[in-house]
Amino acid sequence: MDATAALSELLEVSTQVVEAVVSGADGAIEASRTADDDRAGALAAAGAGLLSEAGAIRGGRPIERVHVDLDHGSLVAVTDGERTVVATTVAEPTAGLVAYDLRAALARMRGDGA
């Protein structure tokens, strides 16, 4: 499944995800469901930065997921090393469920059929 279709499906099935963006390992945006391109770029950069900083804190080991609670929702970034999905959520989301939904979207993009 391509990234655009995977994001569309993600937003259909996950009532807690508000907006999302998929970027490749090089940071290029592959698909987004955000207000505009600037927002997609900012969201992708925020997710990549959080994953990178979390990895640095853990001694350079790769981090697969970061969840940050914000005033009116959360930012969740999940990566499989090839692609990263970053999403904003409703307030007080079920963190594990959102992470599962993002991982499933990545699996669908890989063709794993999750």
Q: What is the pLDDT of residue 102?
A: 97
What residues are paired with 33 via a beta bridge? 20
The pTM is what?
A: 0.93
Q: What is the pLDDT of residue 95?
A: 87
Q: Which domains does the chain have, with CATH numbers?
A: 3-110 (3.30.450.30)
Q: What is the pLDDT of residue 80?
A: 95
Average pLDDT over residues 95-103: 94
As a whole number, the mean pLDDT across the chain is 94
Confidence check: pLDDT of 114 > 80: no
Better-scored residue on pLDDT, 34 or 62: 34
Q: In the chain, what percentage of residues exceed pLDDT 90?
A: 91
Q: Kindly provide the b/e burial profile for residues 8-29, where b requires at least 16 CB atoms within 10 angstroms of the residue's own CB.
A: bebbeebebbbbbbbbeeeeeb
> How many CB atoms are located within 10 Å of the residue 43 CB?
23
d(CA 106, CA 53): 21
DSSP string for 39-50: HHHHHHHHHHHH
Q: What angle do CA 91, 93, 98 make, to 5 degrees?
A: 135
Q: What is the pLDDT of residue 113?
A: 60
